[in-house]
Amino acid sequence: MMIGRLDLYVRQDNRLHRLDPRAKLAAVAGFLAGAMFAPVRPPWALLGLVALLGAATVVARVPLRIMARRLVAVGIVVGFPLALSRLGGEMTRLAGESLAAKSLLVAASFLVLAATSKPWELLEAVSRAPLLAGFAALAQFILRGVDILAAEVTRSNLAAALRAPRASMRVRLGGLIAVSISLLGRAAARSERQGAAMALRGFDGHFPPAPARALPVYDLLWGAAFGLASLTIGVAARWI
């Protein structure tokens, strides 16, 4: 499966990995709200949130070097506006610091979520929300499409390597354009067959909601506790 090679999931077996994805989404939502409320100065609220997230990372046994490597790209993205904000007044500097600190925190929380949950599990959790079911269904179509297209590209690459292993760059570029156009045509033809198969199986244009599944109390408590703790830190720091 191509998705297995693309995604950020880190294979482990621990409490956080086994936690229901809905509980993890609730925890991340609380963390996100807490980070938004938390002021940058004084920094104790942000440090509290870092400690909470650090504890979750340790429980999840996600190697720190993986987290650090994945955060580098975000660091580069926020580094530029942070450096630029140093040239402005006090308010601009504060906004630069706030953007950098909160972006890193929120990105890290999403990375922990992605490292402990498979994309299919998260989509299934999202599909239970009434307004998001259609989006989740479309996202599932996209994920299946990734596997189909990746297989097509692999076959095309293999064919090109077998037929013209020493072709010039001009020939390769021409081949790439021809393959891309052909790929679009084949994708279109495939979608016709797939659509007809769906209609024959009884698809009526609507996606039924995912079957109800109770959220275990233990998972609910952990998710809610993490989210509420994050929110309390952020709100308390804002008021104090």
Partner 1 sequence: MAVSAPGSDALRRARELSLAGLLGALGLLLPIGLHALGWGGKILLPMHLPLVVAAFVVGPATAASLGLIVPLLSAALTGMPPIAPPIALLMSLELAAKSGVISLLYRKLRLPMWLALPAGLVADWAVLALAAIATAGFFHISASPLKYVWAAVLLSWPGTMLQLVAAPLGVAAIERRLPRLAMERNPGRAPGDAARAAGEDREG
Which spans of this chain sit near partner 1 (rule: CB under 8 A)?
3, 6-8, 70, 73-74, 77-78, 81, 85, 88-89, 91-92, 95-96, 99, 102-107, 110-111, 114, 119, 122, 134-135, 137-146, 148-150, 153, 181-192, 194-196, 198-205
Q: How far is the CB of 221 from partner 1 (least distance, A)?
A: 25
Q: How far is the CB of 218 from partner 1 (least distance, A)?
A: 25
Tokens 């790209």 found at: 73
Closest by alpha carbon to 210, among 16, 1, 9, 22? 22
Neighbouring C-beta atoms of residue 155, cutoff 10 Å: 11
Q: How far is the CB of 113 from partner 1 (least distance, A)?
A: 9
Please identify, using beta-carbon distances, which residue of 64 and 221 lies nearer to partner 1.
Answer: 64
Rounded-to-integer distance, Cα 12 and Cα 60, Å: 8
Q: How far is the CB of 235 from partner 1 (least distance, A)?
A: 19
Q: How far is the CB of 145 from partner 1 (least distance, A)?
A: 3
Please identify, using beta-carbon distances, which residue of 1 and 221 lies nearer to partner 1.
Answer: 1
Please identify, using beta-carbon distances, which residue of 94 and 216 lies nearer to partner 1.
Answer: 94
Which helix (H) or strand (E) is 121 found in, with range? helix 119-127
Please identify, using beta-carbon distances, which residue of 19 and 113 lies nearer to partner 1.
Answer: 113
Closest by alpha carbon to 218, among 59, 12, 20? 20
Half-sphere exposure of 160 (CA within 13 A, CB side): 19
Rounded-to-integer distance, Cα 11 and Cα 115, Å: 8
Rounded-to-integer distance, Cα 8 and Cα 11, Å: 10
| DSSP code of residue 20 | -
Closest by alpha carbon to 119, among 238, 239, 8, 233? 8
Please identify, using beta-carbon distances, which residue of 42 and 134 lies nearer to partner 1.
Answer: 134
Q: How far is the CB of 18 from partner 1 (least distance, A)?
A: 20
Please identify, using beta-carbon distances, which residue of 166 and 201 lies nearer to partner 1.
Answer: 201
Q: Which positions ≥6 away from 93 have C-beta within 8 Å?
A: 85, 86
